[in-house]
Structure 1
Amino acid sequence: MSRLGGLTSPRTSAVLMVLLGMSSIQVGASLAKRLFPVVGAQGTTALRLFFASLILLAVWRPWRKRLTRAEVRPILIYGAALGVMNLSFYLALERIPLGIAVAIEFTGPLAVALLSTRKAVDFIWALLAVAGVVMILPLTGTAAALDWVGVGWALVAGLCWALYILFGQKAGAAVHGGTATTLGMLTAALLVVPFGVAKAGTALLDVSLLPFVLGIAVLSSALPYSLEMVALKQIPTRTFGILMSLEPALGALAGLLFLGERLSLVQGLAIGFIVLASAGSALSSKQSPVTSEGVA
């Protein structure tokens, strides 16, 4: 009974939620990349965020709570960061492999973790992360398949991911997690949809795309972001950081399995450096609970 109780404890459930959410995002990204030739990265992002926001609105019904001005501000910034993060990531994905895009984007949350501590060992993790990024960048013949525009968009996505973490915690602490996630997603959709319309026009109205779009919306947005809001209430910052360090590796695996994207040995080693740097940083961080409000 004790073993069964351990498997069903809130912390164990939260760990499984984080792992499921990360896997869901990478599968959704693989599916989204197949839609790029039809509506482009902008159109795909717009459709994803639009339908994800509709799903979350139906589930969480955020209009039941009246928000104060102080509560609205972090939600708007969180939503704007979420929208730009998704758009820039998909723009990167148009040009570079999924695993590499995730690894470069991951420099954002890694920077947040490293800048929040003053331990000497974190200098080592920072150097390891920098080494990983330099190995990925198209500086030598081994990285010739990459282009700088895709790398640039991935770096923008990383910056927005850092803002998403900082203001997502504030938004989740200010209001119910479901409300924060839903209003943040709605803000992101309102921001990105005009770019999608400008790029794809009436192609966005093609009903044959609906099954793909709904799958992407659920896998890449509605499901993982909701799971994350729940999990953040149950596990310490260190545990969450260690789990999140697996994201670049999961991206590379999804790219290989679903898109046939094979990375060079150097690129795979670079992703390993970034994963190790993130896990090491999380291990050396203070053991404190995340302050985000969970989704009950």
Structure 2
Amino acid sequence: MDQRVATNSPGDIGNAAHGLSSDRAALPSGVVFCLLSMSSVQIGSALSADMIAAYGPFATSFLRLLFAALILMAVLRPPVRSYSRAQWKSAILLGITMAAMTVCFYAAIARIPLGLTVAIEFLGPLAVASFGLIGWRLVLPVAALVGVVLLCHNGESWTIDTTGLLLASGSGVGWGCYIVLMKKSGRLFPGLEGLAISLLIAAIACAPVGMLQVPNMMSPTVLSTMLGLAILVPLFPYALEMIALRRMPTAAFGILMSLEPAFGALSGFLILGQPMAPVQMLGTALVVAASAAVTISVKPEEA
């Protein structure tokens, strides 16, 4: 017998058992955080339609990112002077990615239905999930992809707004990069400090164009609305996603987010009155089934 095993103390065994228990608890809590994040994102996105139509995606993105960053900076007071070069590089890359993803997404939902936008955007996380899966679980992203395709059809025709489709695709690329960069930021920074810095950088990236419309938004009603939307998206969901990515593998996170098109379609239906055809309901069922299957199949030691 290995002497290192034979000489383990009861305390060592207890610590190991506690660690295993923590690992087992981490994945379910990560799933809950993801579900809360998706709900917040889609409700906030649906409620943003009027603001985007009135002031454009850049101004809407700029103020929301700025408010979210200022709130988090005020609460955390991150020690910015103590950060290493690697930390700043991570925060800058994540911030630029957040800015591009947010602007593309808001510009897309101004042109095509929310459910369709989210369905196309999901292709980014789907690609991330596909890289992390092996064996029979490779069937799961395929099933989710079929569901996404079905969500793109309204029962009669496909969308013909090329610009909207391209913007949604750009948001998808950004989302895929965001997942990888957010997980890295979670490793490099304590707590939510990396998120606070990244949100501020994202706001700065949107500022040159976004500031052009800001003078027209200086009313108490608009500013209070933007503050509320900033909490719904991006502050609350981004914080939850960073915590979730510390508790689960990137592949599981990526495919769990395949629920996002379903949340988007449902929010579009309930809040914006955008109908769901039977074929889209079938697509929703597929992505839900794929998400549930991959979450159940992930082993505790992979989380």
TM range (shorter): 0.7 to 0.9
Deviations for 1:97-127, whole angstroms, at most 9, x for unmatched residues? 21221121111111101022332541x3343
Deviates more, 1:48-57 or 1:227-236: 227-236
> Match of 1:256?
269
Unaligned 5+ runs, structure 2: 1-24
Could you tell me which amino acid in structure 1 is paired with residue 74 of structure 2?
A
Does 2:233 align with 1:216? no
Deviation at 1:274, TM superposition (A): 3.7
Tell me how far apart the structure 2 counterparts of residues 136 and 248 of structure 1 sit (CA, whole Å).
8
Structure with greater Cα Rg: 2
* TM, length-normalised to structure 1: 0.83
Match of 1:185 among 196, 199, 211: 199
Equivalent pair of 1:20/1:224 in contact (CA under 8 Å) = yes
**SS of equivalent to 2:227:** helix
42, 56, 60: which one aligns with 1:26: 42
Contact 2:141 2:255 (C-alpha < 8 Å) held by counterparts: no
Where do residues 169-208 of structure 1 align in structure 2 (5 Å cutoff)?
A: 169-198=183-212, 200=213, 202-208=215-221
* Match runs of 1:1-296 below 5 Å: 13-63=29-79, 66-122=82-138, 124-137=139-152, 142-144=156-158, 147-198=161-212, 200=213, 202-235=215-248, 240=253, 243-283=256-296, 287-288=300-301
Note closer, same or farther for the CA distance 1:14–1:166 as it changes in structure 2 (3 Å cut): closer
- Aligned twin of 1:5: none
CA contact (8 A) 1:74 1:171 kept: yes
Q: 1:288 to 1:150 in 2, by over 3 A?
A: farther
CA drift at 1:133: 4.0
Cα deviation for residue 288 of structure 1 reads: 4.4
Q: Residues 133 and 152 from structure 1, CA distance in 2 versus in 1: closer, same or farther, beyond 3 angstroms?
A: farther
Q: Structure 1 pair 141/147, CA: closer, same or farther in 2 (3 Å)? A: farther
Give the C-alpha shift of residue 254 in structure 1.
1.4
Mark the CA change 1:117 to 1:239 in structure 2 (over 3 Å): closer, same or farther. closer
- Would the alpha carbon gap of residues 286 and 65 (structure 1) be closer, same or farther in structure 2, given more than 3 Å must change? farther
Residue range with higher mean Cα deviation, 14-23 or 154-163: 14-23
Q: 2: CA distance between counterparts of 1:55 and 1:213?
A: 13
Report if aligned partners of 2:183, 2:246 keep a CA contact under 8 Å in 1: no
Unaligned 5+ segments in structure 1 are 1-8, 291-296
Aligned-partner SS, 2:135: coil
Q: Distance in 2 between matches of 1:79 and 1:252?
A: 27
* 1:214 Cα offset (Å): 0.7
Residue 209 of structure 1 aligns to a residue whose secondary structure is helix
Question: What is the letter of the counterpart of residue 160 of structure 1?
Answer: G
Question: Secondary structure of the equivalent of 2:62?
Answer: helix
Shift of 1:19: 2.3
Give the TM-score, by structure 2 length. 0.81
Decide whether aligned partners of structure 1 residues 24 and 118 sit closer, same or farther in structure 2, where only a CA change above 3 A counts.
Answer: same
CA RMSD of aligned residues (A): 2.8
What code does the residue aligned with 2:202 have? A
Paired letter, 1:35: M
Could you say what secondary structure the match of 1:226 adopts? helix
- Retained in 1: the 8 A contact 2:186–2:245? no
Can you list the C-alpha shifts for 1:164-197, whole angstroms capped at 9, x where unaligned?
A: 1111111110111311110111111111122223
Take 2:234 and 2:149, find their aligned partners in 1: how far apart are those partners?
30
Paired AA for residue 78 in structure 2? P
Distance 1:13 1:132, change over 3 A: closer
